[in-house]
Chains A and B, each alone.
Chain A
Amino acid sequence: MLKRLILLKPFVNQLIDTNMIFRSYALHDNQWSIAKKYCTILTPFKFFQELLEGEYYSTLPIVAVALLTLRQKLCDIIDDANNDDDVAVSTLVTALLQKFDAEFQPDASVSFFNSYRRASNDRNYKSRKVGISIESMLATALDPRTKHLVVIPVHDDSIQSIWEEIEKKCFILRHRVRTGYNISSKIVWKEPTEVRLLTDAKTNFMSEIVAKLKPQAPGRMVIPLNPDEKIKQDIRNEIEQYKVEELLDLLCDKVVEVDGEIQLSYPSTIPWNGGQRMKTNIPF
């Protein structure tokens, strides 16, 4: 609504000038300027909300990127607004940031990357989980489009726990493919046999898998959100070289060929969409 209104401002004003009925609805100059600023502040939210609404591509990996970027953008605006002394903007952004933290990280001492259930009795947030769920983080870490984009503090233990979780999932998948049995993630860690298997697997197999899945250069999961050209080029190269077929072969011991139906046709570069609904590219 705002964006279109601002775009059509000269015509709307023309309409107001020629038609008496709308004169009482006219916005004064200050309001036009506030509307424009609000529109700028809300644009990143609109971008990510539309991206996350997509139907033709996987949206789970984008969650962590969206939340971290949006929070960073709000903090940036607050820093700038202090110089500007723009009350309307700073009031809105502070309120947005407060709400954001209340929704996603009410306790600053607990990492953003550890999903936990809210203990508070506040009825507005009753029983809602906060933080970024491990499922989203797994998706982010594995998706070649996002694995480089997430900014996690290097000292945060969460990175390690994400990769441990991936190892566990790889193991469960491999076990299922080999034996045909499902093992619940909870059982794996309790049964002594499974633990032995896992340790065995870890030494012989897991390190190989995880080494392949992890970003090649150390510390890549901590690159800035606005990388320079060189880092961008490195990332593009890495995505192009990302050999999913090779990984799956390793993971499933080529069992995919027994089935006969499974085709490992995974594109070397993955678009954000199926080309049908969203036309935008991620802007960083």
Chain B
Amino acid sequence: MNVAITTDGWTATSQHATYIAVTAHFITPAWKLDSCVLACRGHGGSSSAEEHCKFMNSIMNEYGIDKSNVSAFVADTESSMGKFEGIVEQTMEVPWLGCIDHRLQLITKIAINDNIDSEGTMKACRDLVSAIMYSNQAVVALLQFQKSRINLPHRPLVLKRRCYNSLVVHF
């Protein structure tokens, strides 16, 4: 069976610790798309590309995954991962795919930061929403106003939908 592997690293600044997660994705013989986390471990060393590569090799050895059974590696495209990409493609001959979502995020980020002609709209919107969100009274009042109007759904304001260190769906 072939697997595609996704990986990412994360540094917990409060604990001064580095974590690396490795997930395998595959299609089962019954044609179901499935995935399992191979490891999510604290990692004593630095978060450099070489260390990441070493960690990845040890995980693959642990689970008996041969490089010929890996169809692709997928990770984000920040600089240490970019270096890791080079190492993987040279030493393992496995294709590397940069996470497309992260790359699209680099583009949409431009809209989040105001430009000269936007009259500070994005900042004004952010300020307005956070000002309301940080006041419980305001949030309650806003919902109250909505309830006074029939046939309209009652929804709170949202500052961001989810965060994976990104501005992907902030708008």
Q: 1/0 per position for B42-59, CB-CB distance to A under 8 A?
A: 000000000000000000
Q: Which of B82, B100, B124, B159 contacts A31 (CB 8 A)?
A: B124
Residue of A nearest to B66 (CB): A182
Given A15-B132, A39-B171, decide whether A184 and B157 contact each other with a Cβ distance below 8 A.
no
How many residue pairs, one in A and one in B, have C-beta atoms under 8 Å apart? 169
- Please report whether the interface of chain A is mostly helix, strand, loop or mixed according to DSSP: helix
Q: Is the CB of B107 within 8 A of A38?
A: no
> CA A155 – CA B141 in complex, angstroms?
61
B residues contacting the other copy or chain, number (CB 8 A):
60
CB-CB < 8 A to B33: which residues of A?
A: 56-58, 274
The answer, yes or no, to whether A197 is at the interface (CB within 8 Å) is no
The answer, yes or no, to whether B61 is at the interface (CB within 8 Å) is no
Q: Which of B83, B104, B115, B171 contacts A127 (CB 8 A)?
A: B83
Interface residues of B (CB under 8 A from A): 29-31, 33, 35, 68, 72, 77, 79, 82-83, 85-86, 93, 95-98, 100-101, 103-108, 110-111, 115-122, 124-129, 131-132, 135, 138, 141-142, 145-146, 149, 155, 157-160, 168-171
Interface residues of A (CB under 8 A from B): 1-5, 7-8, 11-12, 14-15, 18-19, 21-22, 25-27, 30-31, 34-35, 38-39, 41-42, 45-46, 48-50, 52-53, 55-60, 63, 66-67, 70, 87-88, 91-92, 95-96, 99-100, 103-104, 126-129, 133, 135-136, 182, 184, 186, 259, 261-266, 274
